């Protein structure tokens, strides 16, 4: 009798876990957009606020992004890589050059604030290591607000184009809602 009750409880636990997993798979949200990071030029969207002074005035990667450099950003998020495409939000936060080697890794702490469309007024928070020279980088979604309240998931970043230090990064974000 005890064996039957234990087996029944185990079956019920497994069945409820499977239904939760299936529900989460069905409700997963995927969003694709492009971030325009412009740390140089007359109207930069990312500004260096701390770090070691460089000996170069060259707008190249090494001069702009020395170890310990900290940038604050307010980058446009658009539907397509074209800077004139529909603005869907802003990426606001900071990034820090966190590697001393040649791998050029940033620590990203940012929030995607959506300003139009179905997610208007909602946000997603990202925090993690971004090895910018890798073809595809993965960073965790650590939370959100509005439609994405208490969300978790991951963001895949891929550089679409780069002009010296100004870059357009494509993001494919997968969000698992909180239940």
Three-state secondary structure string covering the chain: CHHHHHHHHHHHHHHHHHHHHHHHHHCCEEEEEEEEECCCCCCCCEEEEECCCCCCCCCCHHHHCCCCCEEEEEEEEECCCCCCCCEEEEEEEEEEECCCCCCCEEEEEEEEEECCHHHCCCEEEEEEEEECCCCEEEEEEEEEEHHHCCCEEEEEEEEEEEECCEEEEEEEEEEECCC
- Mean pLDDT for 19-24 is 46
Please tell me the pTM assigned to this model.
0.78
| Per-residue pLDDT at 64 | 55
pLDDT tier for residue 11 given thresholds of 50, 70 and 90: very low
Give residue limits of the domains in the chain. 29-176
| Per-residue pLDDT at 24 | 46
CB 93 within 8 A of CB 110: yes
| Per-residue pLDDT at 101 | 72
pLDDT tier for residue 1 given thresholds of 50, 70 and 90: low
Region 29-176: CATH code: 2.40.480.10
Is residue 19 pLDDT above 50, yes or no? no
| Per-residue pLDDT at 6 | 54
- What does pLDDT average to over the chain? 83
When comparing pLDDT for 154 and 4, which is higher? 154
| Per-residue pLDDT at 133 | 86
Is residue 15 pLDDT above 70, yes or no? no
* Least trusted range by pLDDT, from 6-20, 31-45, 91-105: 6-20
CB 37 within 8 A of CB 45: yes
* Interval 113-149: pLDDT, tens: 999 999 999 999 999 999 988 999 999 999 999 999 9
| Per-residue pLDDT at 68 | 78
Contacts of residue 18, defined as CB under 8 A and 6 or more positions apart, other chains included, come to none
């Amino acid at each position: 009798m005890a064996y039957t009750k234990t087996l029944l409880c185990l079956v019920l636990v497994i069945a409820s876990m499977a239904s939760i997993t299936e529900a989460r798979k069905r409700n997963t949200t995927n969003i694709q957009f492009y971030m325009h990071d412009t740390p140089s030029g007359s109207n930069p969207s990312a500004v260096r606020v701390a770090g070691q002074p460089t000996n170069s005035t060259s707008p190249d990667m090494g001069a702009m992004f020395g170890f310990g450099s900290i940038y604050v950003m307010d980058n446009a998020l658009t539907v397509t890589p074209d800077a004139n495409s529909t603005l869907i939000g802003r990426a606001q936060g900071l990034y820090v050059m966190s590697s001393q080697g040649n791998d050029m890794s940033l620590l990203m702490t940012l929030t995607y604030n959506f300003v139009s469309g179905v997610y208007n007024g909602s946000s997603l928070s990202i925090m993690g290591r971004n090895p910018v020279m890798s073809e595809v980088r993965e960073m965790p979604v650590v939370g959100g607000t509005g439609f994405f309240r208490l969300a978790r998931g991951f963001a895949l970043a891929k550089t679409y184009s780069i002009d010296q230090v100004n870059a357009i990064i494509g993001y494919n974000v997968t969000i698992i809602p909180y239940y």
